[in-house]
Structure 1
């Protein structure tokens, strides 16, 4: 039998610490999206080079997800979590030393490596400490941290860039990350660590081949890929888009907080819906979220005013919140427990690949079309619709009979 953290206070501490870690990690990764505006001027970057800077983090971040998942399954979530927090915090601070396109490109690549273990370690931690009936809510609360971090970061980063400059902004948030790593080291101590370690020792080694053979894995992988094409395209380029519409940097970054805060609430609502009403039918929230995302993207890019555009961007963010919660809830609920970190890392790898592709493609399109966002909007809409079709093919709560030892837990 699997042992879980049964003490409510202990589970509350665990999920709050994971929430804080996810918040600061998202602030760190999103800071460049606001800072790229003055960086572009200081380092004399064109739109394509700026797109590459926004994308390179996702390349190394994506590459580290499968390795981070494997390391989490091998050494435990707490160790990998602390090492990852220290890694991304140090390289966030290093970003302040960039003096050219090449140096900034290198620092952002290293930053992605540092942060790569955060997500699989956190999801594994939820799987270790929460029973299945609570995982939808725990997962959605954890995932909502990215929107909370986005809202907080949109306001704070814009203010820090204006008041301190982009270099000192990166130093400041890097120091905060190191302090959070210390807090996690002190307080994130699971009462079931001994049972978990003993269970790991008794488990048979499971290869990646069994992950790839698990039913629904590739469909969830692709659904996450197309969902993140949209989400990271929006996160990376919308501050610049609103500035192109006549807003100043502080106003544009502050407006980005509105959809983040709204989707923060909806992440948690979606978790409650999944646990209470959608058990075994999670894919339908993913399909609906993808279709609505395409509709709101079209309306956003064709809005007649900035305020109306923000409304549609907010509705798009809500749609994406349902997609992310549903996909990772399926991973946690239906994948083999001994593969949770590995499956999460590989699915998230698919999502981060798109984070490497989307900003660069949009930057290239903007360069080719002289700054026009029309072609970029259709690129994002097409990705959302493809994600809807992919999600529709997912089998609800399918038991994989191809591997006897994974019968009870396969996707």
Structure 2
């Protein structure tokens, strides 16, 4: 069964709400990358412990991806979306009162659990509420908030971390979440009530089918590799620019504006292109982007000046952004809407496990090599090459169609 899409005005409102919700989630995720410099000083943390704080969110987030998708498919995406925003708002606020490393790790982990249901349920809403030829663009608009936050958070951090402090910022972010939750409760369309067992998705059966599909495992690996690069860079570039390039927090904030703008443009442009071009051609473009990504990572970290570093970083973000939007497009366009939440949750588990593993692994490498980032850079380059293979192995011929699933 395929649900009818919403009316045009309702779809516009829904796009705005999804954008705002994802923007808030990314506000916290990017903010911690800058705040951790001050958190590390307050709690006397090592590089490895700093990496653990950055990774603890992703562990909870990754563990909740598949359950979040299953719950969205079984009980309705709106319900999961609301619970997700409420829970993450509570633990964003509680970040402000964490006084020890242990408490901080628990709070960040539970914040990840809360936010973990958002993307699978949002993806299901996109799949059921929008025509197929609009879905990549809608996803790109929602995900573009990540680029906007990447641009704004450095400025916000530079202005507020040195004035009101990191604890006050997280408390304010928690209050913003309460507002978003209210807007979702009031304006997100209610889940369709399924009257019979025949209408109700057979979750156990579809999960088994998804787990047996090579298509899905290629996506899981693709998600893991591209998000390993993405979150490896996002979580450690502020610290890298401070330690290895000698920039202060204000300078870091300003130089990161340009990559943020590029990410926004790339996300919106990629959504338009992916909706216009056949997925077979898009697959080749995505593999080429992943291949070039490895080379420009090498150039970026070996740049002789900050100007060159930022130039190469812009290219890296453009290439990575295309791949990050292409991967969910395979699900939005090839998996029936009834099961989009479960499929997205499965694929995104790979991406968020990468978010958990990579920051800690980079922290360990930096400590092991006496502050050098060289080993971490080579690791990210190798991961980019693995991403190429995962994209090329995505089969577009033998998928379960809406008739066959």
TM over 0.5: yes
- Which residue in the other structure is 2:40 paired with? 40
- Which residue in the other structure is 1:238 paired with? 237
Q: Output the CA distance in 2 between the equivalents of 1:205 and 1:394.
A: 25
For residues 149-196 of structure 1, the C-alpha deviation after alignment (integer angstroms, 9 at most, x for no partner) is: 222222213322111111111111111111111111112125xx44x6
Query: What's the RMSD between the two structures over aligned residues?
Result: 1.7
- Which residue in the other structure is 1:375 paired with? 375
CA spacing shift, 1:261–1:4, aligned 2, 3 Å: farther
For residues 214-259 of structure 1, the C-alpha deviation after alignment (integer angstroms, 9 at most, x for no partner) is: 2411001101100011000001000011112111112213322321
- Which residue in the other structure is 1:221 paired with? 220
Displacement, 1:103?
1.3
Q: Output the CA distance in 2 between the equivalents of 1:237 and 1:291.
A: 22
For residues 334-390 of structure 1, the C-alpha deviation after alignment (integer angstroms, 9 at most, x for no partner) is: 013222100100111100000011100100001011111111111111111111122
- Which residue in the other structure is 2:208 paired with? 209
Matches within 5 A, 1:15-26: 15-26=15-26
CA spacing shift, 1:289–1:197, aligned 2, 3 Å: farther
CA spacing shift, 1:334–1:200, aligned 2, 3 Å: farther
- Which residue in the other structure is 1:150 paired with? 150
Displacement, 1:32?
1.1
Structure 2: 5+ residue stretches without partners: none
For residues 2-29 of structure 1, the C-alpha deviation after alignment (integer angstroms, 9 at most, x for no partner) is: 3433422111111111011001101112
Q: Find the residue that maps to 1:79 and give its secondary structure.
A: helix
Q: Output the CA distance in 2 between the equivalents of 1:374 and 1:178.
A: 42
Displacement, 1:198?
4.9
Q: Find the residue that maps to 2:14 and give its secondary structure.
A: helix
CA spacing shift, 1:284–1:273, aligned 2, 3 Å: same
- Which residue in the other structure is 1:293 paired with? 293
Matches within 5 A, 1:131-146: 131-146=131-146
CA spacing shift, 1:200–1:240, aligned 2, 3 Å: farther
CA spacing shift, 1:200–1:357, aligned 2, 3 Å: farther
Matches within 5 A, 1:5-154: 5-154=5-154
Q: Is contact 2:28–2:92 with CA below 8 Å preserved after alignment?
A: yes
Deviates more, 1:382-391 or 1:344-353: 382-391
Matches within 5 A, 1:181-192: 181-189=181-189
Q: Output the CA distance in 1 between the equivalents of 2:404 and 2:254.
A: 43
CA spacing shift, 1:254–1:90, aligned 2, 3 Å: farther
Q: Output the CA distance in 2 between the equivalents of 1:198 and 1:314.
A: 50
Q: Is contact 1:120–1:345 with CA below 8 Å preserved after alignment?
A: yes
Q: Is contact 1:282–1:327 with CA below 8 Å preserved after alignment?
A: no
CA spacing shift, 1:372–1:277, aligned 2, 3 Å: same
CA spacing shift, 1:22–1:199, aligned 2, 3 Å: farther
Q: Find the residue that maps to 2:44 and give its secondary structure.
A: coil
- Which residue in the other structure is 2:398 paired with? 399
Q: Is contact 2:73–2:201 with CA below 8 Å preserved after alignment?
A: no
Q: Output the CA distance in 2 between the equivalents of 1:200 and 1:79.
A: 20
Q: Is contact 2:96–2:171 with CA below 8 Å preserved after alignment?
A: yes
Q: Output the CA distance in 2 between the equivalents of 1:409 and 1:262.
A: 40
| 1:302 correspondence with 2:299 | no
Q: Is contact 1:399–1:409 with CA below 8 Å preserved after alignment?
A: no
Q: Is contact 1:94–1:107 with CA below 8 Å preserved after alignment?
A: yes
Q: Is contact 1:206–1:338 with CA below 8 Å preserved after alignment?
A: no
Q: Find the residue that maps to 2:155 and give its secondary structure.
A: helix
Q: Is contact 1:287–1:388 with CA below 8 Å preserved after alignment?
A: yes
Q: Is contact 1:215–1:400 with CA below 8 Å preserved after alignment?
A: no
TM-score where L is the length of structure 1: 0.94
TM-score where L is the length of structure 2: 0.95
The size of the alignment, in residue pairs, is: 402
